[in-house]
Structure 1
Amino acid sequence: MNTKHLFLSTALLGAFASSAYSQSNTTGAVQGAVVDSKTGEKLPGVTVIATSPSLAQAQTAITDENGGYKITDLPPGDYLITFYYADITLERGGVNVGVNKVTPVFQKLNQAQAGGEVVKITDTAPTIDPTSTTQGITIDKNYIKNIPVPGRTFESALGAAAGSQGDQLGVSFSGSSSLENQYYVDGVNTTGLTFGTVGSPVINDFIEEIEVITGGYNAEYGRATGGVVNVVTKSGSNEFKGSVFAYFQPGALTAAAERTPNNASSIDATGDLAYYADFGFELGGPIIKDKLWFFVGVAPQVSKVDITRTTKRQTDCRKLEASGNLSTCDARLQAMGGNADSVPDVDPKTGFYITDTLDEEVRSRSARALSFLGKINYAATPENQGQLAIQAQPGQSESPGIYGPATSGSKLSGLTTDISTKWTSKFNDNKTEIEAVIGWHREKISDDPYDPSQADKPLQVLYDGSLGVWGPGFGAESNATNEGCRDLPPGMSDPYPLLANNCPMDTAPYVIGGPGSISNDLQQRRAAKLSVTQRMKAGGSHEIKAGIDVEDNTSNTARLYSGGAFIQNYVGSDLIRVNRWVQLLGKMGSPQVMGNTDPRYDNRCSTPDTSGQTMGNIQYVCDYITGDLGAPGTEVSGNTLNWSVYLRDSWQIQPNLTLNAGVRYEEQRLRYAEFLRGQVDPLTNETLGKNAMTMTGMLAPRVGILYDWTKEGRSKIYAHWGRFYESIPMRINDRSFGGEVNFQQDFAPSQCGAPDPRIGGPIGNARNGEGCLTDPNAVGAQERLIGASGVLIAPGIKPQYMDEIIGGFEYEILDDLKIGVSFQNRRMGRVIEDVSTDNADTYIIANPGEWSSDEEEKLMDRIDRVDPANLDEKARLTRQLNLFKGIRIFDKPRRDYNALQFTMTRRFSKKLYVQGSYTFSKTEGNYPGLISYDNGQVDPNISSQYDLIELLANRVGPLPQDRPHYIKLDGYYTFDLKKAGNITVGTRLRALSGVPINALGGHYLYGGNESFLLPRGQIGRTDFEHSLDLRLIYARNLGKNMQLEFFVDLHNIYNRQGTAGVDDNFAPQFKLSAPNSTSGTEQNANPVSGGTYQDLIWVKTIDNRGNESAVPIGKNPNFRNTTGRYSPLNANFGMRLNF
């Protein structure tokens, strides 16, 4: 860290220690003014007191010369606000305070009224925050309790926010991917370090309130280009209170799931919930009344998913009649009057092969976990308070193999821990506030083989073969499956003897062996934050806040395959590919090799020389990474240091006109793995230091303005502009800065021992890939090192950021009823991705489409200064210059999000709560975000999206998160049955557009789903989807302060199991020579720039050097078929005893 910057940050805090803004991201505030009800005169000296069951000690403020007041640091909940003026007392109850929100409470007081009695004000306080331009939603515990959210942790409620939608790894907001969010629990950043997912899933029963910010967040928040989720858990108070709860979802109350068969595969798998259950308690109360309080919650969880594994065979007994319909099944040969013609039957209406079901088997995945939360709160005085919290979530799971023997599965165990402490102090008549937070977030995950006997076996994936061979060969299939898949001559027990392969595995592989990649990963974040806040008068009222936060992030990641390798066995193509993790010592003949004394480096690794310096391969001395965890090379340690400082001012020019202005400065230092430091970089010929990439200059200004035309906090017109920078997840540390090198060897089967009858092959000559490992010095027919040349970082690389514009209004048209309309525009300004300008030989972490001309001149000057006799150095630098200049050829990443949102909220009052939104939006461009939705890759900032220039065509269009229409409606109503109790009915409605469908193909270097054969979204969209959920709650009082509740949820009550995903792969990477064949060839294709579906018939395959052939691509028989559906109708029930 640059200490000069830290000293500057500390000086900024000191400068504003007498000037700031007062509410943290775990509390809210109440503000307003007191005036005479008849004359409108501003009343100074009024005592305002806030009390609540959520508040340990009453908080007090005195109105100033303008009658204004503000009470800060209030935990979320309902408050009683009491006004004392002379001998007049007014009480206003039901004032709801949300986390990180300011609730306006303006009060009129009649100075002429008689004193001595308490006047109770019955009208409700507004719900519009007149100080903030943020977009989003606040979800309180009543919402979670009464709305049928589709899960048991806080992520299940996040979909209530307008502009949000689910994706593969979480919830995305406002056109961004879910890995661009930041998650805070009790003020501590708990975002997952490796990818940016949810790091600590808090169970709903422990939650007080959730703030979801989908845009316009202030300078306190950074490191996010998606949304910010702020979870506040429950705390103790002066009252003992808590609950005992149980929740159960049995599989028996789930409707049958619609199957999603995989065309041209002989195994289908469908998961059905067998059961989910959790139970536990939460309790809070005083240890020392008015001083010390506790809260504790414990909740074990267990679940089981039954996966029905269906085996099937293709048929050959039907013909297409002149009417367009299929005939009935007649398996006799055509010469005998039947329909058998050696071609598998296909349903002309669906395009699916017609199959016979052979057998069904259920394999189960099980999981168990525990959620624990403990918290201590301490108040030295009402102005000086502290908190200590700990959260722990241990868990284990078991998953058998599905597409192969069950023994190829794995067992997983993990532990997530969060510890935090916070202290808040107020000074200067509560006008100055200092808050300090220290937190530790830790994630540990490890796995073991499902079958211990397979621990030392490599994972082997078999492609393009027959279940009729693999089933009996590996003993994983039933007798019914083995008998039904046998391929026999006519006259024997095979009902379809003309089919050469009754049970092909064309579109799904068969997995055997050990668990594959070994996990033994530990990620930790040590964080500290300090903020200073104050109010002051100068041309109006100012609330200024300054702060600094520092995060030290570390990761320890395993790099090891079970059995030392991962094998891809292309049975139908006579190819076995062996993948190994390796460590390189250096090139043959290099000083590192000549002086080596380490016996580990006893292998040879070669790779094609694409630099043009030689005509053949480059030879390296290397070490195959094998053995147990902890052995040299099997663990990678990474580190990233983040720090930021911010300053913002909320200037209330008039009581109903506010200007918010702020700026945030961030830096991020991503560091090399410890074992790489001090080594010579093979690309730059320079010794690697500590920092691999330093992101500086992240200056993020933000400005907003608000106007309240009612002057009572019941309306606001607002606008906001801001810049937001990404915080790069640590996956890049593990891979790009962790010395990741993978050695691929392609062997002919004849190099791998004797034929293995269990594998089969076109003529029974296929080998087991394990035979390729017996000789560590074996040389493959083709060999390639991925990552051998290291990773270049483009000089002058700049941080990734997004700009945002928001405008809109909110108005409380009736008491408790608020409407809003807003427009939101988000544009990616710059992206960080790895690119290759030399056909995937060298990777450069860069800003695609741009490279500084100043940096070009610097490098050219450096080349000019090289000693003319040093030809190697000059050639190396010249090559780097050409590589960097190639960055400009790439298309600039673009992601444009434009949304018009309509919102409506009727808060809970008179038994009714309603919340709804309609969002019309467009998300377009060529860059989806940190998730590569199209090929399923999750490698933030180092995905394949910008690796090759030839794959950039056709990527512009509607992005995967583009859903033009999204309707959300939530609500509940409580029926008061008097002494019989009460019944609450809660509903949750969702209706949304489908997602774009693409036509994808394979690439000879990168595999399947990498080439956009047609422009993005050309094929159309999936269907418009909708669902309705229902919750029924019956509650009855059992006595003083005790209530028993029973509830039942019905999700997807009309059982619409819509399309959640389709197969976008038009051209499978491997094409069989015939639909029922066991042999074929690899096929890849380049994009048809600007093409249409009709053009696909002209697309030709390309060879392993990128040259186009005369062979047309073959269509995936599963193209556009449904691959995933939404959950069927299901029910769950539970109970809760509140006391």
Structure 2
Amino acid sequence: MNNKLIIASIFASGLGATSLGLSLLAPTIAHAQSQTTGAVTGTVTDSKTGEKLAGVTVICTSPSLAQAQTAITDENGQYKITDLPPGDYLVTFYYADITLERGGVNVGIGRVTPVFQKLNQAQAGGEVVKITDTAPTIDPTSTTQGITIDKNYIKNIPFPGRTFEDTLGAAAGSQGDALGVSFSGSSSLENQYFVDGVNTTGLTFGTVGSPVINEFIEEIEVITGGYNAEYGRATGGVVNVVTKSGSNEFKGSVFGTYQPGQLTAAAEGTPSNASSIDATADLAYAADFGFELGGPIIKDKLWFYVGFAPQFGRVDITRETKRQTDCRRLEETGNLSACDARLPSQGGFADGTADTDPATGFYVTDTLDTEVRSSVSQGYNMLGKINFAATPENQGQVTIQALPGSRESPGIYGPASSGGKASSLTTDVSAKWTSKFNDNKTEVEAVIGWHRETFSDEGLDPSQANKPLQVLYDGSLGVWGPGFGAESARTNNGCFDGGPGSSDPYPFLPNNCPMDTTPYVIGGPGSITDETQQRRSAKLAITQRIKAGGSHEIKAGIDAEDNTSETNRLYSGGAFIQNYVGQDTVRITRWAQLLGEVGSPAVMGNNDLRFDNMCSTPDTGDGGVMGGNRMFVCDWTSGVEGSPGTRVTGNTFNWSAYLRDSWQIQPNLTLNAGLRYEEQRLRYANFLQNTVDPLTSQQLGKNALVMDQMWAPRVGLLYDWTKEGRSKVYAHWGRFYESIPMRINDRSFGGEVNFTQTFSSSQCGMTDPRIGNTNGEGCLNTDMAAGGGEQLIGASGVLIAPGIKPQYLDEVIGGFEYEILDDMKIGISYQNRRMGRVIEDVSTDGADTYIIANPGEWSSDEEEKLMDRIERTDDPIEKGRLNRQLTMFKGIRVFDKPSRDYNALQFTMTRRFSKKLYVQGSYTFSKTTGNYPGLISYDNGQVDPNISSQYDLIELLSNRVGPLPQDRPHYIKLDGYYTFDFKKKGEATIGIRLRALSGVPTNALAGHYLYGSNESFLLPRGQLGRTDFDHGLGVHLGYGKPIGKNMKLEVYLDMFNVYNRQGEAGIDDNYAPQFKLSAPNSTSGSEQNANPVSGGTYEDLIWVKTIDSRGNETGVPIGKNPNFRNTNSRYAPANARLGLRLTF
């Protein structure tokens, strides 16, 4: 579904820079025990005979553990200790009067650490033997891929950002996109995020919901594939964050970081050709400080942990105004001449055409003035936790977290007052209980949680709050600047167009300061947001360990989520105005509620005075051949919050159950098998439930879409040839279903209708000298658009294709890992992910009716059912309605079936921290191809999961198959740190973070007459190559010194992109602007849109013709965007962050 008018494109603002490389890849050694804890397991044998010893007492202790945990080996000498918080452990073995201690055993989230131990029964009694060998780094019972990030990695590896999502790139096959981190070929909106076992994923889109600051984090588990049946609702990755807890020791820290603008190199600009305003963002400062403290309330029974950390930041946007020149000619040498603004007849080079640099294709410009406008933000991280233990086997935890924040940003392409301010609050509350029974063979875990997000925004200028947002296109800064008082005198004077004999330095240019490729924003704040999302969740899991043909760990669980969303649907002033000044065209978009089509039963006898307007739209039932219109009785919703039709409340209910068995057939051979079942019930907005849809005449119930029968089997096999947990060969297959974000509830199941009217400027009143044409506000009360230029998007409502099935992907993984040296392992793995089915909205009648469907497929059984229903219907009106639906549903099959194939070969090497050195590196070779990028429409910037414009219109599907935006064939990552121990003088640490990666595919895009810019793939996807291969290096320098008993003071410096390579992060793919000028420097032109050239090449583009407002090709060639293939975003410049930490 198209709605780019109200969706803030988070992609191509051109003001921000993407930080280079978001990841380090390496398979994790994880086998899920719990989302917040890990386990230790192994076998105890006689060192001489190999006899397996029963009755050995094994005890785990750690500063991370409030109470010691104990197990006794069985008749096969095996033991397992579960529910261990992440950290380093001392494992002690007691057998008769023999005692062995093995320290430095690291336990991670969801990870089983193998500790196999040999005992010498001839050893003298009473002696404590300390084992110095390290535990293996490989979990030989798990096929899970990903990485576990501990607090030492966070502390010593330099990565941009201060919250956990900035570390997630430390995983195989991961890369950053505009909304987060994507894993294994999926988009970033396909992930699930958990904090202390509670789902904190953003409800509307699926982004990170609760960005916890790093100082509060104990460990992060990133799962990128191969996960067991405990995990679901994700076709990307799963992220588990465990925050710190209190223990029997008081400990904590006071910390602060400061990133000043003085330690940031100047950002390299990305100027926009044919625009007179360029903007470059530079960090002024980013700072945070805080404390965290944990300890006992009642030793061995009750513990606390608290943390508080404010964060502040400012970004300075340098705004440069410029004018084009007309004083040069191209010499025979290929270079431009010196500037001489006289006519050729006078010995100069002025010809009435703007000068162009032959080397870059950019217009030559003079800088007029610069101005700095600043965006400020602040936020607060607050965390409180209580842990309690009735007994070592029965423990609980209660956590509360709050993350308030605010920002204020000026307008950039227009008056500063056209900017906005926003505030947000994220709250998480959770409670967890675990119990062990039956000699720890039975475990029960229960978790309940509440996640809540609020967000609201408003304009900076209160006097404009009730005015519509108006965007001016294709005009002159020389008119708009003085008109709205937003530009300096130097800019206004420099942009003056006076003609010969005036002060205009280039008098033969009709427009010195064109705004051809950048709009100018005036008026009110536009789309007004005031939303609240909540998730109430509960889950219960039971684990049972039994002996039967080996060892079985059987786990069963159930969970449920009740998700709600409340959001606004309004524009300030009741409308959004696009004023195409150079084309004498004004377009007004409103939210509308439709009572029904004129003459329909819903309209007859209507007494609701709100519905006092008429909305028309082209009748596309005949494919637009006859050119008729449909007329609806409607209400244009106001811009006043709380008015009828401006508030939408949605609800989704999810539940799932699973059963899995980890069967250890032999100590070195494990079979993991599981089955997960999921359901998702997406409901209509409250005001629509149990009503008759006036557009489809269908009786609406409570549930709009029920996704059931989501059976997700998982199976994996592992073999450890060393029999000591130092190797594994493994394979895994699994199916994973998507959890549909709630954006679809707000839009498709919330009765959303857009009404757009296109006027001739002459219909809007007299010329406004501030604009150079009419003011679009003059058309707000004009009833009839020019030439019938009215369009309803969603005029026939939204249908659900009968028999629609859930979206899923299948995954195959295979590989091996081997510990070649103590503390060092290598690995090779292959991962394939293939999209099996997609849910998207399609339209078979030219965007009149949208159908939530599986593009490319519709059940034959459902077709027969509908045909039978038509046959049994006597009512001619009902029969006609059903026949029309049958035609539309059959049209679903004509659409290309969505595809996305990800194939990756990964080479990894990990050396865990030992003897002062930690290293982790990898190389990934991957391909991501198809025609469906995922829940983000990277190409046009739309963020509407499952209802994007990607499959709305059949004519736009051509040329979409190829390398997808996530396709980066080569990715090299290397992380490491080394600590120099100076004894009493302290210690110094050097850390590095190296990234090198391929660029992304580039395209040639054009506009569509209904959907706007960047919707039509003129050429096959990726045919024009890709952006540059890039690389960057970060360095961490730290020094710490003890300053008292149990106290340590640390200072550090993190440097990013140290050699200041501001590589090309993105380019302008828009070949044909939606509006083109009739000639260079012209002030008039025409709308242009174009259909794809199926299988075409770059040379074919000169023959492409525009299409008219009904999709018919004209004889007018398309015009090329002067900014096409120019860089529009770059990676962040060199910068540095200072830090201070006092631990105690």
Aligned-residue offset at 1:488: 0.7
Aligned-residue offset at 1:591: 3.1
2:885 — aligned with what? 880
Aligned-residue offset at 1:780: 7.7
2:15 — aligned with what? none
Between 136-145 and 783-792, report the one with greater CA deviation: 783-792
Whether the aligned pair in 2 keeps the contact of 1:22 and 1:433 (CA below 8 Å) is no
2:845 — aligned with what? 838
Query: CA separation in 1, counterparts of 2:757 and 2:458?
Result: 27
Whether the aligned pair in 1 keeps the contact of 2:594 and 2:694 (CA below 8 Å) is no
2:703 matches 1:691:
yes
AA aligned opposite 1:915: Q
Q: Quick one: which of 738, 741, 749 aligns to 2:753?
A: 741
Query: CA separation in 1, counterparts of 2:32 and 2:316?
Result: 51
Whether the aligned pair in 2 keeps the contact of 1:22 and 1:72 (CA below 8 Å) is no
Aligned-residue offset at 1:797: 0.2
2:855 — aligned with what? 848
Judged with a 3 Å threshold, the aligned counterparts in structure 2 of structure 1 residues 147 and 941 are, in CA distance, closer, same or farther, namely same
Alignment of 1:56-75 (within 5 A): 56-75=66-85
2:617 — aligned with what? 607
Q: Report SS of the residue matched to 1:1021.
A: coil
1:914-950 CA-partner distances (Å, limit 9, x unpaired): 0111000000000000000000000000001111111
1:18 — aligned with what? none
Q: Quick one: which of 516, 519, 537 aligns to 2:526?
A: 516
Alignment of 1:27-42 (within 5 A): 27-42=37-52
Alignment of 1:204-243 (within 5 A): 204-243=214-253
Query: CA separation in 2, counterparts of 1:218 and 1:54?
Result: 26
Query: CA separation in 1, counterparts of 2:777 and 2:1094?
Result: 42
Alignment of 1:79-90 (within 5 A): 79-90=89-100
AA aligned opposite 1:784: Q
Gaps of 5+ in 2: 1-30
2:739 — aligned with what? 727
2:649 — aligned with what? 637
1:807 — aligned with what? 814
2:1041 matches 1:1036:
yes
Q: Quick one: which of 1094, 1097, 1101 aligns to 1:1092?
A: 1097
2:117 matches 1:111:
no
Q: Quick one: which of 761, 766, 771 aligns to 2:778?
A: 771
Query: CA separation in 2, counterparts of 1:944 and 1:616?
Result: 25
Q: Quick one: which of 1094, 1100, 1106 aligns to 1:1101?
A: 1106
Aligned-residue offset at 1:627: 4.2
2:584 — aligned with what? 574
Alignment of 1:319-468 (within 5 A): 319-468=329-478
Q: Report SS of the residue matched to 2:534.
A: strand
Whether the aligned pair in 2 keeps the contact of 1:460 and 1:567 (CA below 8 Å) is yes
2:965 matches 1:960:
yes
Q: Report SS of the residue matched to 1:1131.
A: strand
Whether the aligned pair in 2 keeps the contact of 1:22 and 1:545 (CA below 8 Å) is no
Q: Report SS of the residue matched to 1:717.
A: strand
Between the two proteins, what is the percent identity of the paired residues?
Answer: 80
Q: Report SS of the residue matched to 1:812.
A: strand
2:685 — aligned with what? 673
Judged with a 3 Å threshold, the aligned counterparts in structure 2 of structure 1 residues 878 and 591 are, in CA distance, closer, same or farther, namely closer
Query: CA separation in 2, counterparts of 1:517 and 1:188?
Result: 32
Query: CA separation in 2, counterparts of 1:506 and 1:872?
Result: 50
Aligned-residue offset at 1:618: 2.0
Query: CA separation in 2, counterparts of 1:1045 and 1:1108?
Result: 68
Q: Quick one: which of 1023, 1026, 1041 aligns to 2:1031?
A: 1026
Q: Quick one: which of 1048, 1052, 1058 aligns to 2:1057?
A: 1052
2:273 matches 1:263:
yes
Query: CA separation in 2, counterparts of 1:776 and 1:103?
Result: 72
1:794 — aligned with what? 801
2:283 matches 1:273:
yes
Whether the aligned pair in 1 keeps the contact of 2:695 and 2:795 (CA below 8 Å) is no
Q: Quick one: which of 489, 495, 500 aligns to 1:490?
A: 500
1:16 — aligned with what? none
Query: CA separation in 2, counterparts of 1:1092 and 1:774?
Result: 46
AA aligned opposite 1:1012: F
AA aligned opposite 1:1107: N
Q: Quick one: which of 816, 822, 835 aligns to 2:823?
A: 816
Q: Report SS of the residue matched to 1:997.
A: coil
1:1012 — aligned with what? 1017
Whether the aligned pair in 2 keeps the contact of 1:748 and 1:781 (CA below 8 Å) is no
2:720 matches 1:708:
yes
Whether the aligned pair in 1 keeps the contact of 2:826 and 2:910 (CA below 8 Å) is yes
Q: Report SS of the residue matched to 2:736.
A: strand
2:1116 — aligned with what? 1111
Gaps of 5+ in 1: 1-20, 761-765
Aligned-residue offset at 1:106: 0.1
Whether the aligned pair in 2 keeps the contact of 1:22 and 1:533 (CA below 8 Å) is no
AA aligned opposite 1:670: L
1:1078 — aligned with what? 1083
Whether the aligned pair in 2 keeps the contact of 1:586 and 1:592 (CA below 8 Å) is yes
Query: CA separation in 2, counterparts of 1:540 and 1:978?
Result: 50
Query: CA separation in 1, counterparts of 2:1102 and 2:110?
Result: 58
Query: CA separation in 2, counterparts of 1:592 and 1:1020?
Result: 54
Whether the aligned pair in 1 keeps the contact of 2:898 and 2:931 (CA below 8 Å) is yes
Q: Report SS of the residue matched to 1:996.
A: coil
Q: Quick one: which of 660, 664, 689 aligns to 1:652?
A: 664
Aligned-residue offset at 1:541: 0.2
Whether the aligned pair in 1 keeps the contact of 2:575 and 2:639 (CA below 8 Å) is no
AA aligned opposite 2:817: E
2:128 matches 1:128:
no
2:1020 matches 1:997:
no
Aligned-residue offset at 1:778: 7.7
2:988 matches 1:976:
no
Whether the aligned pair in 2 keeps the contact of 1:291 and 1:379 (CA below 8 Å) is yes
Whether the aligned pair in 2 keeps the contact of 1:1063 and 1:1122 (CA below 8 Å) is yes
1:608-627 CA-partner distances (Å, limit 9, x unpaired): 22224996322222111114
Q: Report SS of the residue matched to 1:1066.
A: strand
Query: CA separation in 2, counterparts of 1:52 and 1:358?
Result: 65
1:752 — aligned with what? 764
1:5 — aligned with what? none
2:954 — aligned with what? 949
Aligned length: 1112
Q: Report SS of the residue matched to 1:160.
A: coil
Whether the aligned pair in 1 keeps the contact of 2:297 and 2:303 (CA below 8 Å) is yes
Whether the aligned pair in 2 keeps the contact of 1:22 and 1:73 (CA below 8 Å) is no
AA aligned opposite 1:298: F
Judged with a 3 Å threshold, the aligned counterparts in structure 2 of structure 1 residues 949 and 777 are, in CA distance, closer, same or farther, namely closer
Query: CA separation in 2, counterparts of 1:865 and 1:558?
Result: 42
Whether the aligned pair in 1 keeps the contact of 2:274 and 2:363 (CA below 8 Å) is yes
AA aligned opposite 1:88: I
Q: Structure 1 length as normaliser, TM-score?
A: 0.97
Query: CA separation in 2, counterparts of 1:292 and 1:30?
Result: 24
Whether the aligned pair in 1 keeps the contact of 2:597 and 2:695 (CA below 8 Å) is no
Whether the aligned pair in 2 keeps the contact of 1:148 and 1:986 (CA below 8 Å) is yes
Query: CA separation in 1, counterparts of 2:117 and 2:602?
Result: 79
Q: Quick one: which of 862, 871, 874 aligns to 2:869?
A: 862
Q: Structure 2 length as normaliser, TM-score?
A: 0.96
Root mean square deviation of aligned Cα? 1.1
Whether the aligned pair in 2 keeps the contact of 1:408 and 1:514 (CA below 8 Å) is yes
2:918 — aligned with what? 913
Aligned-residue offset at 1:777: 8.0
Whether the aligned pair in 1 keeps the contact of 2:1076 and 2:1088 (CA below 8 Å) is yes
Whether the aligned pair in 1 keeps the contact of 2:696 and 2:797 (CA below 8 Å) is no
Whether the aligned pair in 1 keeps the contact of 2:32 and 2:111 (CA below 8 Å) is no
Query: CA separation in 1, counterparts of 2:171 and 2:238?
Result: 12
1:392-434 CA-partner distances (Å, limit 9, x unpaired): 0001100111100111111100100000000001000010000
Aligned-residue offset at 1:480: 0.5
Query: CA separation in 2, counterparts of 1:247 and 1:965?
Result: 34
Aligned-residue offset at 1:538: 0.5
2:27 — aligned with what? none
2:8 — aligned with what? none
Query: CA separation in 2, counterparts of 1:813 and 1:615?
Result: 74
1:713-769 CA-partner distances (Å, limit 9, x unpaired): 000000000000000000000000000011111111122122111110xxxxx2111
Query: CA separation in 1, counterparts of 2:499 and 2:721?
Result: 87
